[in-house]
Amino acid sequence: MERINILASEPLLTATSAGELLELRARGSWTASNGTILESLAVAAVPAIDRATTIKLDLADLSELDTVGAWLLEKLSRRAVSAGHRADVSGVGENYAGLIEEIRQVNRHNRLPPAARNPVVTKLDKIGRSASGMTEDVAVFLQMLGSLFVAVLGVLRRPRSLRITSAVYQLYRVGWQAIPIVVLITFLIGAIIAQQGFFHFRRFGAESYTVDMVGILVLRELGVLIVAIMVAGRSGSAYTAELGSMKMREEIDALSTMGLDPIEVLILPRVVALICALPILAFIGSIAALYGGGLVAQFYGDMSPAIYIARLHDAISVTHFKVGLIKAPFMALVIGIVACSEGLRVKGSAESLGRQTTTSVVKSIFLVIVLDGLFAVFFASIGL
């Protein structure tokens, strides 16, 4: 039963035709490694086969044969048979009898080729699908919000069912471990804003207003926005990937079958941790940005720290600080809901995990910015 490796010889298909009879002799090694040559040999033999009424296929000189070769030979004889001609196969070596018999059985089912579709219809179909996908996105978001609300009610009824350990661990991950990078980025942003302020305001002799700009911008908008975007990229993606791979390995199904609610066990602690962490990070980030602005004021704007602090004291009030921080928990909630619901939408494949993670980050950053805009309109209209 073993394949003898004689020097792999060039495959050949010689045709001798005598009137209505066509004799085909296959020789050499008809194996996958010669696939390209074999295919052209088979194609070249087709016209001769169509002309003849009786085909004799002699396989006695084959040195090697595998599935690819056997299938090509079988295809030739099938072509003759389907045209109503005779096809006899002879000289089948003992080694290959089983293989040839097996190949006779395959590809017998005629499968309909997929019908070509109208490109306009395809395009419309795509638009329709993405529109209905969008409503589905909204539904998923609302459903997650609702389930979280129900889970919170459950926790209020039975406070012991809150997973404190898990929430603290998540807080450590999304809060404590995020501090260095948040501080670094917001520090740089504060410094850049201050530098730009001094550079442009100097022309009007209005350098001191740079401090007002830095203070208000950082506390009201930028501090919390930048931090929220970073948390969405850093922790939101981690949530989606974790929950997605848990979904893939059926861990979430395992939890449900044990009578536990995955929302309560996995998602609530994560969202709670995020809601606690984001205001803290936004606060730390804002301070770092103000500090960065102060350093630039000292070394680039020739403003002593004492004056910087005094100006800051005049320029900003607690209101600005409150306006900034009030937004943080809502942004955290949006990030948490998007990240967790996208995680639960992961299907079995690795590709879908990647796609949902990307979707989660893009969507939560988008929603955070939209939310920030809505808050700006709201605060403006109530006069804060």
For the chain, the C-alpha Rg in angstroms (whole number) is 36
Tell me whether residue 96 or residue 375 sits nearer to another protein (CB atom). Answer: 96
3-state secondary structure of 278: helix
Alpha-carbon distance of 287 to 215, in angstroms, equals 10
Tell me whether residue 10 or residue 351 sits nearer to another protein (CB atom). Answer: 351
Query: What DSSP letter does each residue of 16-85 carry, written as one string?
Result: EEETTEEEEEEEEEESGGGHHHHHHHHHHHHHHHHH-SEEEEEEEEEEEE-HHHHHHHHHHHHHHHHTT-
Alpha-carbon distance of 106 to 330, in angstroms, equals 61
Q: How far is the CB of 99 from another protein (least distance, A)?
A: 5
Instruction: Give the phi and the psi of residue 4 in degrees, each rounded to 5.
Output: -90, 125
Tell me whether residue 2 or residue 10 sits nearer to another protein (CB atom). Answer: 2
Q: How far is the CB of 202 from another protein (least distance, A)?
A: 56
Q: How far is the CB of 22 from another protein (least distance, A)?
A: 22
Q: How far is the CB of 349 from another protein (least distance, A)?
A: 3
Binding residues (CB under 8 A) for another protein: these are 1-3, 31-33, 35-36, 39, 66-68, 71-72, 75, 95, 98-99, 101-103, 105-107, 109, 111, 347-351
CB 210 within 8 A of CB 194: yes
Q: How far is the CB of 304 from another protein (least distance, A)?
A: 59
Tell me whether residue 105 or residue 135 sits nearer to another protein (CB atom). Answer: 105
Query: What DSSP letter does each residue of 211-250 carry, written as one string?
Result: HHHHHHIIIIIIHHHHHHHHHIIIIIHHHHHHHHHHHHTT
Tell me whether residue 36 or residue 135 sits nearer to another protein (CB atom). Answer: 36
Looking at residue 110, what DSSP letter applies?
A: P
Q: How far is the CB of 149 from another protein (least distance, A)?
A: 32
Query: What DSSP letter does each residue of 318-352 carry, written as one string?
Result: HHHHHHHHHHHHHHHHHHHHHHHHHHHT--SSHHH
Tell me whether residue 96 or residue 201 sits nearer to another protein (CB atom). Answer: 96
Tell me whether residue 71 or residue 239 sits nearer to another protein (CB atom). Answer: 71
Q: How far is the CB of 122 from another protein (least distance, A)?
A: 18
Residues 288, 289, 290, 292, CA torsion sign: positive
